[in-house]
Amino acid sequence: MERRSGIKIMGQLIGLVKPLLHIMVAAIALGIMGYLCAIFLTILAGTGLTHILLSNQNQGMMITGFGSDISIKTLGFIILILAVLRGVLHYGEQACNHFIAFKLLAIIRHRVFDVLRKLAPAKLEGKDKGNLISILTSDIELLEVFYAHTISPIVIAFFTSAIMVFFIGQFHFAAGIFAALGYIGVGIIVPLWNGTRGKKLGMEFRNNFGDMNSFVLESLRGLDETIQYGQGKKRMEEMKKRSERLGGLQKKLNRLEGVQRAVTDLVISVFSFGMLFFMIWLYQRKFVDFEAVVVGTIAMMGSFGPVVALSSLSNNLNQTLASGERVLSLLEEKPQVETVSGERKITFSDAGCEKVCFSYDDKPILQDVTFLFPKGKIMGIHGRSGCGKSTLLKLMMRFWDPQKGNVFLSGEDIKKINTSDLREMEAYVTQETYLFHDSIASNIEIGKPGASREEIIEAAKKASIHDFIQTLPKGYDTSVGELGDTLSGGERQRIGIARAFLHDAPFLLLDEPTSNLDSLNEGIILKSLKETCREKTVILVSHRESTMKIADVVYSMENGKND
């Protein structure tokens, strides 16, 4: 996909500020006043010192040139007030900016998770999990720099510089133009030049950072296999290689940052001393007086703060914009399966598919598959691994839509059934049961939020997991650990089956539900299925012939086709 321009990325990110626009305006106003306090603090100090040095002895401790004579004591008091105001105003600006930043980061995270909910599982099937984690964490976090230290500094720099151009231009219009050129050079030309040099590098760094996250996550999950097959050295070499590549990119970015700072300092020096010599030149030709030379030069030297802040932004702006691009691209992703709502509610009677064809990218999985699953029957689908059995169940759940043919429930195309109704009518047990880092009871309760402990226990008994749970120190309140690592594969699978029993849907889809179970537990669960599901429609997918014994009808699949 073609990358959008930095201006477009910034525009779209700024668009998210609308709900907090009033706070942004306050931050900008405080920032402008704060910088003006800092600038005029040095101008007043320099002007006062000049007047003291040039004053006559009979003037004593009075200073002229401010519209009226003021004492050194009064001038010192004014400078003190400006110094205090500078601190207070800067604090207020930063407080507003960071409030906006962290509030928007929370909003963006909510939006991202909402989008992921709509995209899942079709868009996320096989997706690079580490890269996705990188977007959800570091990329979104990096946007804090944009919202807290980019938007308002740009506006503050513009208005502060405009005020200073007008101020310096009062001495002579050419001096104002010269000041404007200095501000443009430091605040616009240098950042754009540096941004152009590092644009691709910033995106490359963020992508490599995401790839590194994926590799580390994969290595941690596969640690047992890595140790078992002696692949530790190979994984370490690959990690070292990736780390060095990432470090190399970081060095290049740091080098760009160093060059940018050097160029910025050079431009500031050129325009600062340039203003001095230019004002002296004007003074020699009697276009300005000596006070204008001093004040104009001090004003120029002391007013680069806002544009220097802009110039410094370009150091991290490339990475920030790259992160913004990745986040915005995720937010703009369209789900392959759109959520349906507003349709009439239907009651489950039967299910099936007709001449269904489905491919992953260019790889055909199902070809002209037709099945009918009548109510109250256990329908077995038998076939070797890779023949499309699991894919068929995912089409029945409408995780994807077929490229050809149609899938129906109660005679209605599932594309026209409310998504919430579809999820309520179906219960799906996958080959790999995912467990959350919570108690066993809470993990089973996912099948029916708000279920009573009695209902959870009954579902666990049907899934032949109750007796095992009772042996645990805290029973149903025992934590399963991260990713359910404290439980065996069979125990996790039975918790998944318990969820399905608790959900109590009329249409039950079971994908290899006994693959991790011994023959005893398999027999108990199959017996429970047979007794519990007399009024339900069950699709039982398995490569085990023993599992197929409870099925009323067994279909055989071969190479994506049903016999």
Rounded CA-CA distance 311/173 in Å is 26
Residue-wise pLDDT tens digits, 414-430: 999 998 899 899 999 88
368: helix, coil or strand? Answer: strand
The residue behind tokens 């008994």 is 461
Rounded CA-CA distance 554/563 in Å is 10
Q: What is the pLDDT of residue 63?
A: 47
pLDDT < 70 positions in the chain: 1-3, 52-71, 122-130, 199, 312-316, 318, 482-485, 560-563
Q: What is the pLDDT of residue 150?
A: 79
- With left for phi above 0 and alpha for psi between -120 and 50, is residue 255 left, alpha or beta? alpha
Cα distances (angstroms) measured from residue 504 to each of 80, 425, 458, 539: 74, 9, 12, 15
How far is CA 324 from its chain centroid? 9
- Contact criterion met (CB below 8 Å) for 37 and 89: yes
The residue behind tokens 């790999």 is 432
Look up the pTM and report it.
0.64
Residue-wise pLDDT tens digits, 362-420: 788 898 999 999 998 999 998 887 788 888 999 999 988 999 999 999 999 999 999 88
How far is CA 560 from its chain centroid? 38
Paired with 555 in beta bridges are: 381
CATH number for the domain formed by residue range(s) 6-332: 1.20.1560.10
Rounded CA-CA distance 284/134 in Å is 61
Residue type, 550: I
Q: What is the pLDDT of residue 485?
A: 66
Rounded CA-CA distance 208/503 in Å is 42
What number of H helices and E strands is found in the chain?
19, 12
Which residues have a Cβ under 8 Å from the Cβ of 215 and sit 6 or more positions away? 130, 238, 239, 242
Nearest Cα to 317, choosing from 97, 11, 1, 10? 10
Nearest Cα to 316, choosing from 438, 478, 206? 206
Q: What is the pLDDT of residue 125?
A: 65
Q: What is the pLDDT of residue 560?
A: 62
Q: What is the pLDDT of residue 67?
A: 44
Which residues have a Cβ under 8 Å from the Cβ of 314 and sit 6 or more positions away? 190, 191, 192, 194, 195, 198, 260
> Maximum Cα–Cα distance for the chain, whole Å?
117
Residue type, 545: E
Q: Where are the domains of the chain?
A: 6-332, 351-562
Q: What is the pLDDT of residue 160?
A: 93
- Contact criterion met (CB below 8 Å) for 402 and 409: no
Distance spanning both ends of the chain, measured CA to CA:
42
The residue behind tokens 């030149």 is 281
Q: What is the dihedral of CA 476, 480, 484, 487, to 10 degrees?
A: -70
- 6-332 with 351-562: one CATH topology? no
Q: What is the pLDDT of residue 84?
A: 92
Top CATH class of 351-562 equals alpha beta
Sign of CA dihedral 305, 308, 310, 312: negative
- Contact criterion met (CB below 8 Å) for 433 and 493: yes
The residue behind tokens 């029993």 is 501
- The tokens of 424 are what? 């309520």
The 10 Å CB-count burial string (b at 16+, else e) for 349-380 is ebbbbeebebeeeeeebbbebebebeeebbbb
- Contact criterion met (CB below 8 Å) for 402 and 358: yes
- With left for phi above 0 and alpha for psi between -120 and 50, is residue 36 left, alpha or beta? alpha
- Contact criterion met (CB below 8 Å) for 292 and 279: yes
Q: What is the pLDDT of residue 269?
A: 92
Cα distances (angstroms) measured from residue 482 to each of 220, 365, 436, 479: 13, 34, 7, 9
Q: What is the pLDDT of residue 61?
A: 47
Rounded CA-CA distance 102/98 in Å is 6
Query: What is the percent of the chain where pLDDT is above 90?
Result: 27
Q: Where are the beta strands (DSSP E) in 445-512?
A: 507-511
Q: What is the pLDDT of residue 58?
A: 42
